[in-house]
Amino acid sequence: MTSAPVPADPPPIDPALRAALEAELDDAVALRHALHRDPRLSGDEADSRDQVLAALGDLGTPELVADTGAMLRLGAPADAGRPAVAVRAELDALPVVERTGLPYSATGSVAHVCGHDVHVAALVAVVRAMGRVGHTGPAPLLAVFQPREEKAPSGASDVAADPRFAAHEVGAMLGVHVQPELPRGTVSVRGGPVNASADEIEIEVHGRAGHGGYPHRTRDPVLALAQIVAGVHHIVSRRVDPMTAGVITLGQLQAGSAPNVVPETATARGTVRALDASRDELLAALREVVESTARAYGCTATLTVVPNEPAVVNDEALARTVARALGSRRATDGNGAGTDGLVLDTTFRSCGADDFSHYGEVLPSLMLFVGAADAGTTPGAGPGLHHPEFSPDDAMVGEVARALLAAVTAAGAALAPTADPVAAAAPNA
């Protein structure tokens, strides 16, 4: 996999394209409301996909992908030999009962509490704006409306492996996510790992059942599991380099059916995440702690690992390209704000996970984070991603769309035949 080249200077955004984007935002917000009001779970996004395609109108011929997703290309056709810039937006929602009280709140047991409705509406605004002005971007644009980000089997993995996606010769893949851990008006762009890998785990401890009044006749799996839980949470603090990031979370424990019975089995379920810690070393240490602790209490234990997503690793050159473009648009008013109303951050990363990582395994990719913590609030203090009360306000559609437009323009220029090969070889921006 070759990194995206770096142009010498960030290209300006066509003023007509910028104006066209602003003109699309009201309709994009209306689309966001429609998607938010009637969300769909992973694997059931066909209705949401069709709403998106209806909003795109006759801008091109969509291709269905990953069962309930779709792709739409603007600019030179796929057989023209021009590498495209692709942008991913997620269609699915979560099995959560929403508590936002918004007039367009979902009323069932499914809700957009991760911001995917904002991402989709923002991408639709960018596509429609480019269609309105006849696509003035420096490279073709491939909009990917992807299903199944929240649940395996991964929609991103399916799209990345699809020959129809490969036929577009994507040279750079972009994604965006609203982020309540960042202040409003901030867009974070950096190279390297920015989201962690995530694997699901199940620990099952087997003991000897018996009467609670005769514990010496039993081998208590509950006690063994309790010690395993305590031991597991020391792995990161004592087995992982403190300069790297990883986390083990056990979020579900289950044992027994009566208060006076020592059960035969006890189970725990959770996740293992590695940002720049070694994923393999974390899992190996976990297995050692689980098996040896159970054995110390006269029990046996099994660890089952269900691999999910690898880490999201941003392409270094592509990150420099986009960061340079966003940074060059800073105003001279002393507060670092750009002409797009965005402040560039190059530090944020988290142990959240995203199946966007699968694109990065086959082509240069970049995930951007757009701040969602309102002014006057402490980032991360309010309802976060997946919380029943999390819902960015409508202005976030425009903020995400402006960040995407800047990123698409910069990445497209890097892929254009006129990209400066000398600058592309530069080690730093």
135 annotated to a ligand binding site: no
User: How far apart are the C-alpha atoms of 250 and 291, rounded to whole Å?
Assistant: 16
Question: Residue 262's beta-bridge partner residues?
Answer: 210
Sequence-ordered alpha helix ranges (H) in 241-315: 279-296
177 annotated to a ligand binding site: yes
Q: What is the DSSP letter of 219?
A: B
Residue 145 has which token pair?
Answer: 């409306």
Ligand-binding site membership of 386 (annotated): yes
Half-sphere exposure of 12 (CA within 13 A, CB side): 4
CA 156 centroid distance within chain: 10
Q: Backbone dihedral region of 406: left (phi > 0), alpha (psi from -120 to 50 degrees) or beta?
A: alpha
Please give the C-alpha separations between residue 378 and each of 270, 330, 384, 400, in angstroms, as whole numbers.
28, 24, 12, 20
The token pair that represents 322 in the structure block: 């986009």
Question: Would you say 119 is a known binding-site residue?
Answer: no
- At 245, give phi and psi (nearest 5°): -120, 135
Residue 152 CA, chain-centre distance (Å), reads 14
The whole-angstrom separation of Cα 255 and Cα 78 is 56
Q: Answer yes or no: is 202 a known binding residue.
A: no
CB 174 within 8 A of CB 407: yes
The pairing of beta strand 186-188 with beta strand 365-373: antiparallel
**Strand, helix or coil for residue 146:** strand
Spatial CA neighbour of 245 closest among 224, 216, 276: 276
Q: With the C-alpha atoms ordered 37, 42, 47, 49, is the resulting torsion angle positive or negative?
A: positive
Q: Which two structure tokens, joined as six digits, stand for 75?
A: 């600019």
Give the distance between the most distant pair of CA atoms in the chain.
81
Q: Which residues contact 366 (CB under 8 A, 6 or more apart)?
A: 172, 173, 174, 175, 189, 314, 315, 318, 319, 322, 407, 411
Q: What's the CA gap between 397 and 220, in Å, rounded?
A: 54
Annotated binding site for Mn(2+), which residues? Answer: 114, 116, 150, 177, 386
Summarize the annotated binding site as residue ranges.
114, 116, 150, 177, 386
